[in-house]
Amino acid sequence: MTITLKVALLGAGTVGAEVARILTQDAAQLQARSGAALELSAVVVRDTAADRGPHIPRELVSSDAEAAIDGADLVIELMGGLEPASTYIRRALSRGASVVTGNKALLAEQGPELFALAAENGAELSFEAAVAGAIPILRPLAESLAGDTVTKVMGIVNGSTNFILDKMDREGADLEAVMAEASALGYLEADPSADVEGHDAAAKAALLATLAFGSGFSIDQVHTEGITAVTAADVEAARAADQVIKLLAVVERSEAGVLMRVHPTLISREHPLAAVHGAFNAVFVEAQNAGELMFYGPGAGGAPTASAVMGDLVMAARHRLAGSAEPTRLAAEPIAALPVQDAITRYALALDVADAPGVLARIAQVFADHGVSIEAMRQNGHLDGAAELRIITHAGTQRALDATVAAVNKLDVVTGITSVMRVEGN
């Protein structure tokens, strides 16, 4: 006896088309792995007239999502955007169909509601593809580390910005030049703002925190800074200090709650995240017992993202056959999201100062007055009697650092603060 599960595919673009290909090409293997024949029963798109190639038979294509959903056991949502994706996913879950999605934008807004709806209906809502493309990270966080306590996750979760920063680092070029090139190579969206301003990474930060800490978080709770202010001089200074600048999504747990932030970050070149080049992604996890783990791979692209979708689909099918759906369950007591002012990190500052005796002492005193302790200070004289001062602090709160920066800025010997950047890792 062959059991058949009907699969509705909502969206057949970059990722959806690859999912359709794999469903056709690897049908026998997928059946062996999942225990059921996975039959593509409907493909929903906007443009129903377009030819979609050999893996998407014309007769399955329509724009009628409701009919597609109502006729399916498993629904794959790869349209993107909030609506109508949200309405469709809710419809599928309400009918008890398990849903697989790669829609980080939607989940970072409505994740907790959607998980609850899935759990109510004994259905699964899986979303491995939504964070770091092909990299298995959500299942390891939720299952492999189920017996451990994750304290911090740091991810390079946006390929475009990593490509840009990596090129700036390798070539010493400045942001505009590299962006123009990345754009020409097709590495940037037509509107790159979601990438370079950090919003895409922020959505993923909210999802990583949700999985790592088992409570619902949304994108508006994530402090977000993009890479637009990173200069060739910052990259060069980092290089001189044997560091590299990466756009990191950092989520961490303390007694008080969870802190989520996305910003350009200095890390040592010895740190495993420093070896993540080009458009690759990686997620670095700190857990109480496991120590430091890292997961690395392609963060986007049709086939890699489809791989993650298919893993979720096979597991959803298995669970459906066994009647053992494993809905994502969040803590009954939500965990607080903390303001970025509470963030505790090290900082690297660059100041333009007068090159005169006593300047260092006065600046150091301001740091001391605000309880921010200095790890290293280095002065590079200029020709014109001015100097550049680079300061690395020990860990302190953003609150204390901000107050320090404001006070330092008022000193008459300080001409300007040219860069303030957070430092992660040892």
Q: Which of 6, 167, 204, 246 is catalytic?
A: 204
- CA dist 104 and 222 (Å) reads 14
Q: Catalytic site residue 204?
A: yes
Return the structure tokens found at 190.
């037509």
- CA dist 408 and 189 (Å) reads 40
Choose among its own copies, ligand NAP, none what residue 290 binds, the Cβ cut-off being 5 to 8 Å by kind.
its own copies
Choose among ligand NAP, its own copies, none what residue 80 binds, the Cβ cut-off being 5 to 8 Å by kind.
ligand NAP
Q: Which residues on adjacent β-strands are paired with residue 4?
A: 37
Residue 257 vs residues 332, 343, 400: alpha-carbon distances, Å: 15, 11, 19
Nearer to its own copies by C-beta: 65 or 75?
Answer: 75
Is the Cβ–Cβ distance between 400 and 371 less than 8 Å? yes
Is the Cβ–Cβ distance between 77 and 100 less than 8 Å? yes
Per-residue binding string, ligand NAP, 66-105, x by CB under 6 A, is ------------xxx---x-----------------xxx-
13 labelled binding-site residue = yes
Nearest-CA neighbor of 349 among 245, 421, 267?
421
Choose among its own copies, ligand NAP, none what residue 287 binds, the Cβ cut-off being 5 to 8 Å by kind.
its own copies
**Per rule CB under 6 A, is residue 12 in the interface with ligand NAP?**
yes
**Per rule CB under 8 A, is residue 309 in the interface with its own copies?**
yes
We find the least distance from the C-beta atom of residue 52 to ligand NAP, in angstroms, to be 8
Is the Cβ–Cβ distance between 282 and 155 less than 8 Å? yes
257 labelled binding-site residue = no
Residues 19 to 58 in contact with its own copies, rule: CB under 8 A: 22, 26, 29-30, 32-34
Return the structure tokens found at 332.
């009954």
Q: Which residues bind its own copies (CB under 8 A)?
A: 18, 22, 26, 29-30, 32-34, 128, 134-136, 139-140, 143-149, 270, 272, 275, 277, 287-298, 301, 303-304, 306-315, 318-319, 322-324, 326, 331
Which residues of this chain interact with ligand NAP, rule CB under 6 A? Answer: 11-16, 44-47, 63, 78-80, 84, 102-104, 129-130, 133, 300-301, 305
Residues taking part in catalysis:
204
Binding site membership: which residues?
10-17, 104, 189
